[in-house]
C-alpha cells in the first residue's frame, strides 16, 4: 500500500509497463490520478482498475511528442482537480539500435520519444507548480542508460542524458519556488515492448519491483534514485574505469 494519499498525481506514460504498475500501486491511497498515453483503450482499462481500487481517475489519450497536446493535459488536470501535487514523466522508449544501422531520422525519433516528451510537459508543469502555494514534485523516469553511452542504445542513452541534465538545472533554479525534481534511473525492467528485442539485459527486474522503487522515490523525493543495486554498481564501476577497459567490457556485455 502506497504511503502517498490524497494527492493529485499526473502520470505520463501510464498505459503499460512501469507507469501502469505505478498507477495501480497509488490507486489504493485515495488519490486523484490523471493518466495519459497515446493508446486510449489500454489507458481506459488501467483507469478502470484505479477507480475500482478507490482513487478518482481522469484518463486522457494524448501524444507527448505534441507540445499542444501535453499542455492540454496539464490544463485539463488542473481544471478537473484544481492543482497537481506530483507529476511522473514516464513516457519513453529504448529500442535496440546499432549506430551503423540507424538513419538520422531514427536518432531524431528516439530524441523526440525520450527528450521532447519531457520538455513538452516540463514547461507547462513548471508554470503550474510555480503558481501553487505548496509547489510540487516533478519526477522523471530516466534510465541507468542515461549515465553512459550504452552500445546498441546510443540514441536512447543520449536522450536520457539530455533529460537528466535539463532537470538538474531546473532543480537548482526552481527550488526557491517550491518545485522539487527527482530523476529515477532504473536498470533493465522486463516490460512487454522490449522483451523480445534480443538486447542482453543483465540483472533484469520485474515491472512490479521497478514500480515499487518508483513509488518509493515519489515518497522520499531524492534528487536521483538508482535501482537495482547490481546494475547500478555495474554502471558506476564502468564509469570509474579507464575508457579502453570499460569499452571492452561493454562490447562483451552488448554481444550477450
- Write out the catalytic residue numbers: 156
Give residue number: closest CB to ligand NAP: 17
Distance CA 157, CA 114 (A): 9
Comparison of 128 and 142: residue with beta carbon closer to ligand NAP:
142
Q: Report the nearest approach of ligand NAP to the CB of residue 244 (Å).
A: 27
Q: Report the nearest approach of ligand NAP to the CB of residue 83 (Å).
A: 22
Distance CA 247, CA 256 (A): 14
Distance CA 250, CA 256 (A): 10
Sequence-ordered strand ranges (E) for the chain? 8-12, 32-37, 56-61, 86-89, 136-141, 179-186, 224-227
Q: Residues interacting with ligand NAP, by CB under 6 A?
A: 13-19, 37-39, 42, 63-65, 90-94, 113, 117, 141, 143, 186, 188-189, 191, 193-194
Comparison of 107 and 130: residue with beta carbon closer to ligand NAP:
107
Comparison of 18 and 77: residue with beta carbon closer to ligand NAP:
18
Cα atoms found within 13 Å of the Cα of residue 82, Cβ hemisphere only: 4
Q: Report the nearest approach of ligand NAP to the CB of residue 226 (Å).
A: 11
Comparison of 30 and 76: residue with beta carbon closer to ligand NAP:
76
Distance CA 119, CA 101 (A): 28
Q: Report the nearest approach of ligand NAP to the CB of residue 109 (Å).
A: 10
Is residue 87 helix, strand or coil?
Answer: strand
Amino acid at each position: 500500500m502506497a504511503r502517498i494519499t490524497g494527492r493529485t498525481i499526473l502520470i505520463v506514460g501510464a498505459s503499460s509497463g512501469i507507469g501502469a504498475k505505478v498507477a495501480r500501486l497509488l490507486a489504493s491511497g485515495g488519490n486523484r490520478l490523471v493518466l495519459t498515453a497515446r493508446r486510449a483503450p489500454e489507458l481506459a482499462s488501467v483507469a478502470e482498475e484505479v477507480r475500482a481500487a478507490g482513487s478518482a481517475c481522469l484518463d486522457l489519450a494524448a501524444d507527448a511528442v505534441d507540445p499542444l497536446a501535453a499542455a492540454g493535459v496539464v490544463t485539463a488536470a488542473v481544471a478537473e482537480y484544481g492543482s497537481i501535487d506530483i507529476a511522473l514523466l514516464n513516457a519513453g522508449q529504448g529500442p535496440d539500435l546499432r549506430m551503423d544501422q540507424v538513419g538520422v531520422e531514427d536518432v531524431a525519433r528516439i530524441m523526440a520519444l525520450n527528450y521532447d516528451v519531457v520538455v513538452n510537459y516540463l514547461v507547462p508543469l513548471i508554470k503550474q507548480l510555480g503558481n501553487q502555494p505548496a509547489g510540487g514534485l516533478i519526477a522523471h523516469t530516466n534510465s541507468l542508460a542515461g549515465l553512459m553511452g550504452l552500445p546498441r542504445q546510443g540514441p536512447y542513452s543520449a536522450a536520457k542524458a539530455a533529460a537528466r541534465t535539463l532537470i538538474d538545472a531546473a532543480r537548482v533554479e526552481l527550488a526557491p519556488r517550491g518545485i522539487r525534481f527527482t530523476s529515477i534511473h532504473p536498470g533493465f525492467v522486463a516490460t512487454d515492448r522490449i522483451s523480445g528485442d534480443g538486447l542482453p539485459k543483465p540483472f533484469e527486474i520485474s515491472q512490479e519491483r521497478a514500480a515499487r522503487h518508483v513509488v518509493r522515490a515519489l515518497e522520499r523525493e531524492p534528487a536521483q534514485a538508482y535501482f537495482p543495486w547490481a546494475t547500478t554498481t555495474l554502471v558506476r564501476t564502468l564509469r570509474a574505469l579507464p575508457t579502453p577497459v570499460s569499452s571492452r567490457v561493454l562490447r562483451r556485455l552488448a554481444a550477450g
